[in-house]
Amino acid sequence: MKIIEKNTECFSLKHISICFTEMSSQEQAKLDNLLYRVRAKTLVDKHDLLTFLTIYELADLIKIWPASQEKLALERIFKRHQIIWSGQNFSFDLTLDPIVYSIVNVTPDSFYDGAEENLNLDFILQRVEQDLQEGAQVIELGGKSSRPGYADISPEEEWQRLAQPLQNIRQAFPEAVIAIDTDEAYVMQRVLDAGADIINDIDGFDTPEKLQLMQEYQPALVAMNNGRAGMNYADNVYQELPAYFTEKQKELNQLDIANAQICVDPGVGFSGGATGIDSLQRVKTTELLTNLGLPVMIAISRKSFMTNLLNMEVDERLLSTLILENQMMMDGGRVLRVHDVAATRRLIENFKIYQKY
């Protein structure tokens, strides 16, 4: 028997195409028994069997396959599709294990939880401690709102909001992985000097100054296509987002930024008007973006398109958030950027149980 991966030009966590060929009738019968769970995704002729496996199904097949050259071939295929996200002080194997990436807004005007208490250091530290206890693996601080129609502030004011919380979180929780949500090079440099691990830029590192900083500091990063100023509006997100991120990946690689440092965000909820259709289409690009072999962020938490499109009021949006997050994990998204850490942790646990049986 030979085992051949059919599509080696891209990556996937949902549809990994594997051909089992040159089989005896006995081997084919044995393989058919091993693949009983995925018969609906299997094509068989006299000597060949073609199947499409999720990464979880492939992992399960490897576990039960007897030690042999064929098992090694399956393990090589699995390794090719592994998704690692790493920085200078952390490394997450996301292949089978999605992570919770907690939003901690240091702003009075964020779309969901904006309040003056967000500027209080004790409140921020209590929130971070609670989120870490509830299972957050990344803590993201944001010093200004990026909601539709937001009022911009100066980079100096943004840094002023972030400086003390960042310093105190690093001291109180030295093992915590800390991300900063900013689109300002001025802020990026200062938070990196202060010990931030990840930079999340809603504008996708769109200036030479930002790119130079990323090359110099080599952090992990999150690059978004938000469809706003400076980016072409995506008439067809299913074509334009993969093309955009393919070029962004090449641009970052040329700066010696490795694929393992790069996470991509399809930019749900930032553009496309009041209907919410653009946002839902961006949700559905998740599987296409996993073809790049990069971690894909799931950043839809309680966003307003859910009211416009799904008729969910503000206090009901957790339900639609969890439903769509589950689908995006099925499609290969692995970094869940959220307000509701405990609920998301339970979602991931139940998602993994579902994949197990």
Which CATH number characterizes residue 171's domain?
3.20.20.20
Question: Are 89 and 190 within one domain?
Answer: yes
Question: Are 62 and 111 within one domain?
Answer: no
CB atoms within 10 A of CB 205: 25
pLDDT band, very low/low/confident/very high, at 232 (cuts 50, 70, 90): low
The pLDDT assigned to 321 comes to 96
pLDDT digits (tens, 9 = 90+) for 80-90: 999 999 999 99
Which of 51, 80, 109 delimits the end of a domain? 80
H or E segment at 265?
Answer: strand 262-265
Question: Are 340 and 212 within one domain?
Answer: yes
The pLDDT assigned to 229 comes to 56
Closest to 105 measured CA to CA, from 31, 174, 186, 162:
162
CB atoms within 10 A of CB 274: 11
Question: Are 220 and 321 within one domain?
Answer: yes
> 122-127, long-range: CB within 8 Å, 24+ apart, which pairs?
124/165, 124/168, 124/169, 125/165, 125/168, 125/169, 125/172
What rounded mean pLDDT belongs to the chain?
Answer: 92
Given a cut of 90, whether residue 254 has pLDDT beyond it is yes
The pLDDT assigned to 133 comes to 98
Question: Are 29 and 117 within one domain?
Answer: no
What the block records as the tokens of 104 is 């901690």
Question: Are 54 and 92 within one domain?
Answer: no
* Residues ≥6 apart with Cβ < 8 Å to 316: none
Question: Are 22 and 160 within one domain?
Answer: no
- Least reliable range by pLDDT among 86-90, 117-121, 332-336: 117-121
The pLDDT assigned to 160 comes to 95
Question: Are 94 and 218 within one domain?
Answer: yes
pLDDT band, very low/low/confident/very high, at 274 (cuts 50, 70, 90): confident
Which of 56, 80, 104 delimits the end of a domain? 80
- What residues are annotated to the active site? 303, 337
Question: Are 95 and 168 within one domain?
Answer: yes
Percent of the chain clearing pLDDT 70 (strictly above): 94
The pLDDT assigned to 212 comes to 98
Q: How many folded domains does the chain comprise?
A: 2
The pLDDT assigned to 108 comes to 77
Question: CA-CA distance, 168 to 240, in Å (whole number)?
Answer: 41
Query: Which has more confidence, 45 or 117?
Result: 45
Question: Are 307 and 201 within one domain?
Answer: yes
Question: Are 318 and 305 within one domain?
Answer: yes
Given a cut of 60, whether residue 113 has pLDDT beyond it is no
- Least reliable range by pLDDT among 62-66, 115-119, 201-205: 115-119
Which of 80, 111, 131 delimits the end of a domain? 80
- Residue 51's domain comprises 2-80
pLDDT band, very low/low/confident/very high, at 231 (cuts 50, 70, 90): low
The pLDDT assigned to 150 comes to 62
H or E segment at 270?
Answer: none
Question: Are 257 and 306 within one domain?
Answer: yes
